[in-house]
Amino acid sequence: MVKAVFFDVGSTLIDADPEIDGTFCEVAAARGHEVDPAEVSACLPAVNRFYEEEYLRDGDFWCSPEGSVEMYLDMYRYLSHLTGLAHDAEGIAADVNEAYCRPSYWRIHDDVLPCLKELKRSHLRLAIVSNWSPNLENLIQGLRMAPYFDEIVSSADVGYRKPNPMIFTIALERMGLAPSEVMHVGDRPDADGAGAADAGIAPVILDRAETLGDCGFATVRSLFELPALVRAAQSGR
């Protein structure tokens, strides 16, 4: 019987708004720099590749407060260098990072709150399990989402990051649940799918852009589909 649902955060519940290029332009202008938004946007794929390569090489930066913050700072420093603002890279990086600690720089996906409300009406317990820096709980509170969740587990706080099953085990222990009583929802088959499965939890991969194909796990295109999937699992269908 499914008694609880765990959720990833980034690209599952929330996304940066504006994205890095928009916030970078805002910060750079406030610091007195003339920037071409089109040039900054053109550099964004390289910044995203930088993150992905670092994550795949050794994503353990997510396992400490210092490492998780430094990774973000490195991304913003890199963008500063790419856009000819290397001389102020430290200041720009610090200001962009500070901006993303504020709830106003994030948006909740349209399908999130209706899904959470329906799950709570069904008396399910909910938790967050995410690779995130130490400010996650404050951010979720600032977005007024905290009342939906019984636990918020971030990698930087517990020292383990997805796909290591230990981060899921910690969440299970805090909730007093068995793996068979939980589903986990996230957007990455490697971290959310394999990580949850290794912990004995049933994974559900959110593929809003419909780019993942057959990832080997149960998939939904929207969180609007999730309550029905949970009900089907509860009934054994």
Q: What is the mean pLDDT of the chain?
A: 97
Tokens of 54: 């670092």
What percentage of the chain exceeds 70 in pLDDT? Answer: 100
Convert the pLDDT of each residue in 178-206 to its tens digit. 999 999 999 999 999 999 999 999 999 99
- 114 Cα distance to chain centroid: 19
Whether 4-14+105-235 shares its CATH topology with 16-104 is answered no
pLDDT computed for residue 217 by the predictor: 96
Torsion of Cα atoms, 209 then 213 then 217 then 222, to 10° = 20
pLDDT computed for residue 237 by the predictor: 61
Q: How far apart are CA 16 and CA 216, in angstroms?
A: 28
- The CATH code for residues 4-14+105-235 is 3.40.50.1000
Asked if pLDDT for residue 6 goes beyond 90, the answer is yes
Burial class (CB in 10 A: 0-12, 13-18, 19+), 176: exposed
Asked if pLDDT for residue 117 goes beyond 90, the answer is yes
Q: How far apart are CA 215 and CA 33, in angstroms?
A: 44
- The CATH code for residues 16-104 is 1.10.150
Convert the pLDDT of each residue in 92-110 to its tens digit. 999 999 999 999 999 999 9
pLDDT computed for residue 235 by the predictor: 82
pTM attached to this predicted model: 0.95
Locate the domains of the chain by residue range: 4-14+105-235, 16-104
Convert the pLDDT of each residue in 124-166 to its tens digit. 999 999 999 999 999 999 999 999 999 999 999 999 999 999 9
Q: How many CB atoms lie within 10 A of CB 214?
A: 6
Convert the pLDDT of each residue in 53-62 to its tens digit. 999 999 999 9
Strand 218-220 versus strand 202-206 pairing type: parallel
Residue (of 20, 84, 68, 67) closest to 48 by Cα position: 20
